[in-house]
Amino acid sequence: MPESCHTSPAAPVSPDARTLALVGHPNVGKSVLFHRLTGTYVNVSNYPGTTVEVARAAARFDRAASMLDTPGVLALPSRSEDERATMRALLNENLRLIVQVGDAKNLRRTLNLTALLTELGVPLVMALNMTDEARARGVTVDVEALAETLATPVVATVATGGEGVAALTEALPHAKAPAPMLRYDTETEQAIHTVTALIAERAPHPHLAARGLAILLLGRDKEVASWISAQAGGAEILAKVEEIAPLVGRESLPARLARERGRAAEALAKTVSQQSAGADRTLSLLVGQLAVHPIWGWPLLLLMLLVVYFFVGDFGAGTLVGLLEEDFFGEILNPAVTTFVQTHLGSGWLSELFVGEYGLWTMGMTYALALILPIVTTFFLAFGVLEDSGYFTRLSVIANRAFGAIGLNGRAVLPMVLGLGCVTMATLTTRILNTPRERLITTFLLALAIPCSAQLGVVFGVLGGISFGAAAIWGVCIVLILLVTGWLAGKLVKGQRVPLITELPPMRLPVLGNVLKKTSGRLKWYLVEVIPLFLLGTFIMFVLDRLGVLPWIIEAGKPVVTGWLGLPSEASAAFVMGFLRRDFGATGLFALGNQLSMIQAVVGMVTITLFVPCVASVMIIFKEQGWRTAVLMLAIIMPVAFFVGGVVNHVLHLFL
Amino acid sequence: MTPPPPPHLERIRLTGTPTGRSVRLAEFGEEIDPLQREQLLAYGLSGAQSITVLQQRPMTVVLCEHMELALERDVAQHIWVEAE
């Protein structure tokens, strides 16, 4: 989400500082604990993949120590992009301590990861988190026995409530390199031993044990392989791994290693935990089941969409915008500012620059503060509630079949839904997808057809003001475009679709404090990022207007804008604004207000929704996919936007 | 004295398991991609783990310990389970 558009919002720390890393499965509370231990807020939500980049901040208990919040890992060796980011941090940071954040109610799974972390030779402390949820489900863990077996501190925590955080802080200085949790079978141990000896001799790591690296390397961890290959004796080690890996058993070596870790985790979990009978069915589970029910899941989705529509489109874009834009800005503030500016600057071009048709105040600031701010505020509130409820991941189950038609699986729902908040951050979130093919298709669809919060709010505001039907037509058009272009992209981009396997996090009642904190963080991001761009855009429009270029553009755009799209010629100016940000362009159309008929409003909103993504999104696409892909995407998106807009115009005229 | 052999249990596909039934994991079929097999192991589907089938449509959803896991049919039909 937006605040992560600039990750690592942390207090400055010295590069030589001692580094502590929070490592654990997705959605176990690492980011909440990070906030508790550093005072630095990073986005916290109830879905796996909230953190896709490493965040860093100085620890509260030791300002000389640097603390890392790493993306969740389903397992190590790393496979997905976010897991690789965590592995890179483990390899490249001056790591003195690992804090494994584990889920107390899923101890076996937690210990599966512990089995690998204990091999790295780095002091370890386990924060056994969510013990409240474990208790509610009748799970009790003998923390002392577990600590004794691992020979390292284990602290029960409830990070959201701050329970156990003080004890965890006190335990950190007592951490030591833990005892390995298991011995693999003889054949596998032999292979590990051979590679360990080679790494220790030819490419020793400054902090990580050679045995841990050997296990990761034999498990085909690409990041470890890349680190080893960069060392002087790396090529020989990699050649040896290639030589011995196929000789170990029938099963592939990575699977064999994973299976043995699983068995050890199961054995230890059985020893140190207990499950009371009959306590495992909770209200959360029942609500969660309803959300993915083959019949009831759909009405629930529809209900959720309607609530969001009325809250954002009706209340935000209607009532609040009316109060702010028409009543406050229109009748009180703007006349006062205009009088003030004209009194002091006269009525020349300088005065026009501030309070004219394309004035920095009357257009730039009014659009940003009176039109978009109330809309994004209501959207971010609704979005935060849904995010924390755990509903988004459940959408992936319902939408899996539809996404199958476009060559993706339901996991792609998450970046798409996050795109409704901020397309830029959602593009980063595509890292949670399993294959480059899925990332490419999802990035393209995000850039083409997913409106960000501000734009979505403006769309709701414009179309909701006309009729619910107009908004529904827009929605159907966008979904159709997503399906058709996704289907085409699925056919054109090489590779196979991967069937979906996904964890469904428990449904939780959102915590008001967290929702408000996220909303305020996002609004701060919005104000910092959007206002300068809106002002810049307004200034460009002012200059184009003064130089006589804008009337020329409006005239030149007439065949497309008035002919093909059937919009008033003034809409050309909105498309010029849309080059900077789509929501700026959409707001330009919003400002045309009563000049647009229902068909024109739908056509305008469909076209601007499909228009080029904002500058920040383009930069992230460059970073994630390379410049060739980014340029190709932009070259496709522009004509598609105008083509589809025109088709919608002509089709609607046939029926309405 | 050697212990008697364990009773033979019928193996069925996970997709053929009625909703609400608890079963034990028996085996992953060869048809499952090695990477996805690793994923399943990482989610804790290993050994003779007991899992409860919560629903079969639109996807198979199972409860494994206290984690709900959704599996697409292409994967779930190659997971073999046996009665508890």
Nearest-by-CA chain B residue for A435: B35
A266 interfacial to chain B (CB closer than 8 Å): yes
- Axis crossing angle, helix A107-117 with helix B34-42, rounded to the nearest 10: 110
Chain B positions touching A434 (Cβ under 8 A) are 35
How far are the Cα atoms of A398, A519, B30 from residue B17, in angstroms, in the given order? 21, 44, 20
Question: Which residue in the block uniquely carries the two structure tokens 């490493």?
Answer: A54
Q: Which residues of B touch A502 (CB under 8 A)?
A: 69-70
Nearest-neighbour CA in chain A from B2: distance (Å) = 25
**Does residue B58 sit at the A interface (CB-CB below 8 Å)?**
yes
pLDDT at A626 over 80: yes
CATH fold group of domain A2-174: Rossmann fold (3.40.50)
| pLDDT for the residue numbered A279 | 56
Interface probe with B: pick from A80, A106, A132, A397, most Cβ of B within 10 Å: A397
So what's the pLDDT on residue A50? Answer: 65
CA nearest neighbour of A631 among A616, A619, A643, A648 = A619
For A259, nearest residue in chain B (alpha carbons):
B41
The radius of gyration of chain B from alpha carbons, rounded to an integer in Å, stands at 13
Lowest mean pLDDT among A74-83, A138-147, A432-441, A611-620: A611-620
Residue of B15 and A457 predicted with greater confidence: B15
Q: What is d(CA A10, CA A191) in angstroms, rounded to the nearest whole number?
A: 42
Decide if A115 touches B, using CB distance below 8 A.
Answer: no
Residue A74 phi, psi (nearest 5)? -65, -40
pLDDT interval class at B8 (50, 70, 90): low
| Helical residues (DSSP H) of A222-333, grouped into ranges | 222-229, 234-244, 253-272, 283-291, 297-308, 321
In this prediction, residue A3 carries a pLDDT of 41
Q: Answer whether A263 sits within 8 Å of B46, measured CB to CB.
A: yes
Among A370-384, A563-577, A581-595, name the one with the lowest average pLDDT. Answer: A581-595
CB nearest to A105's CB, from B37, B43, B66: B66
- Reading the block at residue A1, the tokens are 């989400």
> What is the chain A residue with the closest CA to B47?
A263
At the topology level, CATH places domain A186-275 in Helix Hairpins (1.10.287)
pLDDT at B5 over 60: no
DSSP state letters, A50-111: S--S-EEEE-SS-TTEEEEEPPP-SSSS--SHHHHHHHHHHHHS-EEEEEEEEEGGGHHHHH
Query: A75 and chain B: CB distance < 8 Å anywhere?
Result: yes
Is B22 touching A (CB cutoff 8 A)?
Answer: no
Task: Please report, rounded to a whole number, the percentage of residues in chain A having pLDDT higher than 70.
Answer: 95
Is residue A46 within 8 A of residue A291, CB to CB? The reply is no
Does any CB of chain A come closer than 8 Å to the CB of residue B53? no
Nearest CA in chain B to A264: B47
Pairing of strands A55-58, A65-69: antiparallel
Of B40, B46, B68, the CB nearest to A266: B46
A386, A390, A271, A373: which is closest to A323 by C-alpha?
A: A373
Whole-number Å distance between alpha carbons of A331 and A325: 9
Cβ atoms of A167 and A39 within 8 Å: the answer is no
What is the predicted ipTM?
Answer: 0.91
Is the pLDDT at A543 greater than 70? The verdict is yes
Domain ranges of chain A: 2-174, 186-275, 297-655
Mean pLDDT along residues A329-334: 93
The whole-number pLDDT of residue A10 equals 42
Q: Tell if the CB–CB gap between B59 and A400 is shorter than 8 Å.
A: yes
Please give the Cα distance from A436 to A386 (Å, whole number).
Answer: 28
Tokens 């490249």 belong to residue: A92
Strand ranges of the sheet holding B22-28, from the earlier edge strand across to the other edge:
A501-504, B67-71, B60-64, B50-55, B22-28, B79-83, B11-13
| Chain A contact for B59 (CB, 8 A cutoff) | yes
Chain A residues close to B30, C-beta within 8 Å: none
Residues A179-234 pLDDT 10s:
899 999 999 999 999 999 999 999 999 999 999 999 999 999 999 999 999 999 89
pLDDT tens for each residue of A416-442: 988 887 788 788 888 888 889 999 999
CATH code linked to domain B18-83? 2.30.30.90
The kind and range of the H/E element at A336 are helix A334-345
DSSP string for A26-44 = TTSSHHHHHHHHHS-----
A578: number of Cβ within 10 Å: 24
How many interchain CB pairs under 8 A, A with B? Answer: 118
Question: Is the minimum CB–CB distance between A272 and chain B shorter than 8 Å?
Answer: no
Domain boundaries, chain B: 18-83
CB proximity list for A376: less than 8 A, separation 6 or greater: A453, A454, A457, A522, A523, A526
Contacts of A143 (CB under 8 A, 6+ apart): A128, A154, A155, A156
